[in-house]
């Protein structure tokens, strides 16, 4: 009986002392590592204006004019589409491809996406792909839809989202000028293709669209060629089917 009472007394002292004695000193727990989150896990994209960027690219830096960034491929899209190779494949599924013979014509546009990399050159220029082999060469000659794209992947905003400036241009006889209402028309053509089911080499996609009117001011202020646009930006979330 005495031995039992001694054990009870010792146990009571231990229990009373637990509150003042951290459990980690009594038991060994493995350290729990924080899961690393990219910003793309938390947002569709980062508004460039928060870090000194804008939703207009820089066609001519000295004149501070450019073309509207009127489409965004959300960071919530299929991860493959957020890669360079995947984005090229997806672009082909909606009717765009690389420039004719891989040759670039015209000015290199820059954009500031507020991701810490300042003004950076266009990452991709794709043109409407009319038909196999010479498809984009025909666009270069006859005009049509095209887009420039930049990836938001700097140290201040590594979302992986693609920012796109889409437009429709005249034929070569008119020096590829943007057609009247060409920024809206080019954007809408791309969005229409994206929200329909598309495929390329066995991969199928379809995008959901959210229209935003609070990112880009409507009108032609600072817009290249002085062509007005409606200020709407399409946020596309591309799903693999």
Q: Kindly report, residue by residue over 64-80, the tens digit of the pLDDT.
A: 899 999 999 999 999 99
- Tally DSSP H helices, then E strands, for the chain: 4, 10
Closest CA to 71 of 200, 204, 185: 185
Query: 21-25, 90-94, 145-149 — which is least confidently predicted?
Result: 21-25
pLDDT higher than 50, residue 27: no
Q: Which helix (H) or strand (E) holds 71?
A: strand 71-73
Token pair 């009319």 in the structure block, residue: 130
Backbone angles phi, psi at 206, to 5 degrees: -155, 140
Three-class SS state of 84: helix
| Average pLDDT value for the chain | 81
pLDDT higher than 60, residue 23: no
pLDDT of residue 62: 72
Name the pLDDT band for 106 (thresholds 50, 70, 90). low
Terminal alpha carbon distance of the chain: 73
How far is it, in rounded angstroms, from Cα 47 to Cα 144? 29
pLDDT of residue 127: 86
Query: What is the DSSP code string of 147-215?
Result: EEEEEEEETTEEEEEEEEEEEEE--GGGTTPBPTTHHHHHHHHHHHHHHS-EEETTEEEEEEEEEESSS
**Where are the domains positioned within the chain?**
39-240
% pLDDT > 70, the chain: 71
Q: Kindly report, residue by residue over 137-191, the tens digit of the pLDDT.
A: 554 555 689 999 999 999 999 999 999 999 998 765 556 689 999 999 999 999 9
Three-class SS state of 219: strand
Closest CA to 198 of 206, 190, 208: 206
pLDDT of residue 119: 96
The residue with greater pLDDT, 101 or 175, is: 175
């Amino acid at each position: 009986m005495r031995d039992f009472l001694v054990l009870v007394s010792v146990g009571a002292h231990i229990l009373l002392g637990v509150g003042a004695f951290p459990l980690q000193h009594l038991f060994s727990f493995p350290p729990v590592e924080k899961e690393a989150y990219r910003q793309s896990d938390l947002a569709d994209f980062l508004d460039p204006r928060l870090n000194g960027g804008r939703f207009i690219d820089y066609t001519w830096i000295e004149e501070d004019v450019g073309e509207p960034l009127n489409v965004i491929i959300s960071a919530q899209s299929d991860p493959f589409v957020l890669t360079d190779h995947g984005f090229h494949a997806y672009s082909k599924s909606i009717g765009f491809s690389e420039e004719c013979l891989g040759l670039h014509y015209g000015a290199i546009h820059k954009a500031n996406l507020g991701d810490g990399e300042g003004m950076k050159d266009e990452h991709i220029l794709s043109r409407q792909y009319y038909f196999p082999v010479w498809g984009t060469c025909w666009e270069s000659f006859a005009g049509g839809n095209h887009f420039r794209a930049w990836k938001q992947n700097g140290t201040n905003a590594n979302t992986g989202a693609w920012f796109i400036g889409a437009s429709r241009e005249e034929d070569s006889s008119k020096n590829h000028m943007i057609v009247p209402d060409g920024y809206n028309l080019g954007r809408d053509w791309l969005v229409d293709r994206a929200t329909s089911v598309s495929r390329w080499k066995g991969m199928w996609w379809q995008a959901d669209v959210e229209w935003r009117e609070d990112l880009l001011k409507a009108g032609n202020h600072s817009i290249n060629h002085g062509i007005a646009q409606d200020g709407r930006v399409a946020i596309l979330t591309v799903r693999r089917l």
